Amino acid sequence: METVAVKIKMGHLVPVLLAAGLFVGVTALAGSSTKAEQAEQELRVVLAAKPDPAHGERLFAICTQCHGGSGQGSASGWPPQIAGQHRSVVARELVEFRVGLRLYDPMSRIAGRHVLGAPQDVADVAAYVAGLTPVQDDTETPTAGLNQASSLYVARCQDCHGADGQGSDAGYVPRVAGQRYEYLRRQIEDAATGRRPDMHGQHDALLRDLPVGVFAGLAAYMSGLHRAGE
Ligand code: HEC
Ligand code: HEC
């Protein structure tokens, strides 16, 4: 993994160094600020950068080790599909792993300075990932509880995640249609119990009063939204 990272950086040493200087500057400015403020500042720099998808494609080689050759994720939902995820969402998640706001050590290392050294790197790989074609999760998902899940989704989730589960690039809302069922189920459980502390959108309040039994149905419904819309 290290070899790939070094090879990629050598070809782009000058821009990487320039951009890294900027990134360090931004982080230093953040000084005593909270991780959330730091993430917000870094994300602003990333989203202002003009993406270079060809460089993003080279960086993506590292991601394929876990997320699969075309970003499709694994059936176990660990790791999730990232293909076709909105650029703003990929960028924000990478920055949050980077500053330690979202917790998963291997992703924090990948999004950290050794691999995605500069905001330009994050911008490039996010644009490339967003351009990949998402696939529908093909694992068997529960069919029980889908009606209840559908009403819940319409009442509590649809405003943000969209009637067809497409999310929104402008709103930083992830596309969930087609996403790995197992991944969604785990995220919903984690959000309900506060184990995903970076989760925006008041999910704890939206999920807290629901019996845990409905989470699997919700995840299956969300994953299948794309299919239902066809
Ligand atoms: C060592 C394995 C590994 C590598 C390499 C890796 N990832 Fe991940 N990634 C994961 C896992 C596992 C998760 C899920 C973590 C969680 O559940 O919180 C994840 C989560 C993500 C997410 C959040 C998805 C979402 O819907 O919120 C994004 C975005 C992401 N990775 C992008 C990337 C990119 C881009 C690269 C390459 C630069 C990369 N990952 C490399 C394992 C990896
Ligand atoms: C106010 C808007 C809003 C509402 C309402 C909302 N969400 Fe979200 N959701 C978001 C945003 C924004 C994110 C991205 C979270 C992050 O990582 O910061 C998200 C992330 C998620 C994720 C993780 C997806 C991923 O790729 O990691 C799941 C699962 C999810 N929401 C489920 C739900 C469910 C179930 C409901 C209804 C009970 C719901 N959401 C209601 C805005 C919303």
At 226 the pLDDT is 60
At 14 the pLDDT is 38
At 195 the pLDDT is 82
pLDDT band with cut points at 50, 70 and 90 for residue 1: very low
pLDDT band with cut points at 50, 70 and 90 for residue 202: confident
CA-atom Rg of the chain in angstroms: 18
Rounded CA gap, 137 and 221, in Å? 12
Residue 123 lies in a domain: yes
Q: How many domains does the chain have?
A: 2
**What is the whole-number distance in angstroms between the Cα of residue 198 and the centre of ligand 1?**
15
Atom of ligand 1 nearest to the CA of 106: 1
Q: What is the pLDDT of residues 115-159, one digit of tens each?
A: 998 999 999 999 999 999 999 998 888 888 899 999 999 999 999
At 227 the pLDDT is 58
**15 in the same domain as 119:** yes
Q: Percentage of the chain with pLDDT > 90?
A: 68
Q: Percentage of the chain with pLDDT > 70?
A: 84
pLDDT at 228 over 60: no
Give the list of residues 6+ apart from residue 118 with CB closer than 8 angstroms, or none.
Answer: 15, 16, 18, 19, 20, 22, 23
At 44 the pLDDT is 97
Which residue is closest in CA terms to ligand 2's atom 6?
Answer: 157
Q: What is the pTM of this model?
A: 0.88
pLDDT band with cut points at 50, 70 and 90 for residue 97: very high
Give the list of residues 6+ apart from residue 151 with CB closer than 8 angstroms, or none.
Answer: none
At 6 the pLDDT is 37
Residue 183 lies in a domain: yes
pLDDT at 13 over 80: no
Domain final residue pick, 130, 154, 180: 130
At 16 the pLDDT is 40
Residue 82 lies in a domain: yes
Rounded CA gap, 153 and 222, in Å? 8
pLDDT at 217 over 80: yes
Domain final residue pick, 67, 101, 130: 130
**What is the whole-number distance in angstroms between the Cα of residue 69 and the centre of ligand 2?**
26
**Of the given ranges (21-25, 63-67, 73-77, 82-86), which has the lowest mean pLDDT?**
21-25
At 19 the pLDDT is 46
Residue 160 lies in a domain: yes
**186 in the same domain as 119:** no
- Measured from the alpha carbon of residue 159, the closest ligand is 2
At 48 the pLDDT is 97
At 25 the pLDDT is 43
Among 146, 156, 161, the mutation site with the greatest number of ligand 2 atoms within 8 A of its Cβ is 161
User: Which range marks the domain in which residue 67 is found?
Assistant: 2-130
The CATH code of the domain that includes 115 is 1.10.760.10
